[in-house]
Amino acid sequence: MNINAPRGTQDILPGTSEKWQYVEGQLADLCRRYNYKEIRTPIFEHTELFQRGVGDSTDIVQKEMYTFEDRGERSITLRPEGTASVVRSYVQNKVYGLPNQPTKYFYMGPMFRYERPQQGRQRQFVQFGIEALGSDDPAIDAEVLALALNSYQELGLTSLKLVLNSLGDLESREAHREALVKHFGPHREELCADCQVRLDQNPLRVLDCKKDRDHPAMSTAPSILEYLNEYSENYFREVKKYLDEMGIAYEVDPNLVRGLDYYNHTAFEIMSEAEGFGAITTLSGGGRYTGLVQEVGGPETSGIGFAMSIERLLMALEAEGIELPIDEGLDTYMVALGEDAEKAAVRLTYELRKAGIQVDKDYLGKKMKAQFKAADRLHAKFVLVLGDQELENNVINVKTMDTGEQKEVSLDEIVDYMKKQLIGVE
């Protein structure tokens, strides 16, 4: 009986895992420059956190969570996103009381959603995200947007579109909500079953419905931008001003509503415009949230953040034909022939590795020629050849693979010699 990985999950094998390591390293470095520090939270949390944090009326909570009862009969959920956990940790550890506010975090790790798998949509995926908590300055919204965009640009992507909206504050959203109910009310029966519920629970989400997208009432729906009060309008204007200041292009889309309940003011998504990217064009999304910290028991504090999946980032790199600078070669391959030479080769391999040099050797009892072939296949830069004869003379043969040049080096000096060749130090 074959057992395969569950649907919507994937194995990341060597050849691909190097790409993951590379982009993860680049993203961590970008965060260092923007001064966002890494936070690692548990992969599972109490279910209630997401019900309250992400919102009961969202698709995530209603249909997509991996929820189970643990042996202590507690309801546990594999995290579907990172923001709720970060906020929970911020409150639990009373981070809001520390000096050096705002608090700026980044995270990277697996998230779980029971969705219908397709290209770019998985049941386990890895999110990279950031959260900045404790500042209401529109400049930090612009900072988050800039970091989000930079994370793609730094890797060489160019076919990007930043789509921006303001969902306003509570007062503005209430006014808009009323207008939406009034607008869609007469069409209630024509809308899908989900939208009929949304109309009561969270009418804004009707605008995001895939099924009712072409309903005539959609194109005439009242725009949130017409319902922004003065504070919200000013806030949005300031965010745009800072983006203009940085020379960051964006498109305002009043129909951009996000799939999570906690947003207000700034909401945004970054889309790929690359040909062949696939049906799902959203690379990442985020926005400002105000009630979330209070919802999990903290003081009134607002935050802003965004998240992307590494899977979609890699898809975009592929669609734009960007090769990452990944060295898949091997520095040194040790070829040994003869019983004593083999013993010495094991010791020397160990010494070289301790000295910081990447080395591999044969473990299949291959003949000399086959060992050379293996070195070739692994794209070794140097091959060290040790036979019983060399051992007797206390030397080893160093072959530089791209020039074919060979050199005999004393066994006493080989570690330093290789360090000089590969690391540039003695």
CB of 206 to ligand HAM, least distance (A): 18
Kindly tell me which of 173 and 312 has the beta carbon lying closer to ligand HAM: 312
Q: What does each C-alpha distance from 264 to 33, 216, 261 come to in angstroms?
A: 27, 27, 9
Kindly tell me which of 111 and 414 has the beta carbon lying closer to ligand HAM: 111
CB of 311 to ligand HAM, least distance (A): 5
Residue 127, annotated as binding a ligand:
yes
Kindly tell me which of 11 and 70 has the beta carbon lying closer to ligand HAM: 11
Residue 333, annotated as binding a ligand:
no
Residue 113, annotated as binding a ligand:
yes
Residue spans of alpha helices (H) in 154-190: 170-184
Distance CA 313, CA 274 (A): 12
Residue 421, annotated as binding a ligand:
no
Kindly tell me which of 202 and 332 has the beta carbon lying closer to ligand HAM: 202
Kindly tell me which of 282 and 294 has the beta carbon lying closer to ligand HAM: 282
According to DSSP, residue 402 is labeled T
Of the candidates 330, 338, 341, the one whose C-alpha atom is nearest the C-alpha of residue 418 is 330
CB of 75 to ligand HAM, least distance (A): 21
Burial, 57: exposed, middle or buried (Cβ in 10 Å; 0-12, 13-18, 19+)?
A: middle
Q: Which residue is nearest to ligand HAM (CB)?
A: 305
Q: Which two tokens stand for residue 312?
A: 């979609």
Kindly tell me which of 164 and 398 has the beta carbon lying closer to ligand HAM: 164
Other Cβ atoms closer than 10 A to 59: 18
CB of 154 to ligand HAM, least distance (A): 17
Kindly tell me which of 132 and 375 has the beta carbon lying closer to ligand HAM: 132
Of the candidates 224, 33, 239, the one whose C-alpha atom is nearest the C-alpha of residue 135 is 239
Other Cβ atoms closer than 10 A to 13: 7
According to DSSP, residue 203 is labeled G
**Coarse DSSP helix, strand, coil percentages of the chain, rounded to the nearest 5 percent:** 40, 25, 35
Residue 258, annotated as binding a ligand:
yes
Pair type for strands 160-166 and 44-46: unpaired
Residue ranges in contact with ligand HAM by CB under 6 A: 81-83, 113, 115, 120-122, 125, 127, 129, 131, 259-260, 282-287, 305-309, 311-312
CB of 346 to ligand HAM, least distance (A): 45
CB of 32 to ligand HAM, least distance (A): 19
- Categorise residue 291: left if φ over 0, alpha if ψ from -120 to 50, beta otherwise: alpha
Residue 263, annotated as binding a ligand:
yes
Of the candidates 113, 112, 93, the one whose C-alpha atom is nearest the C-alpha of residue 103 is 93
What single-letter amino acid sits at 401?
A: M
Residue 81, annotated as binding a ligand:
yes
Distance CA 407, CA 143 (A): 55
CB of 5 to ligand HAM, least distance (A): 15
Output the known binding site. 81-83, 113, 127, 131, 258, 262-263
Output the known binding site for L-histidine. 81-83, 113, 127, 131, 258, 262-263
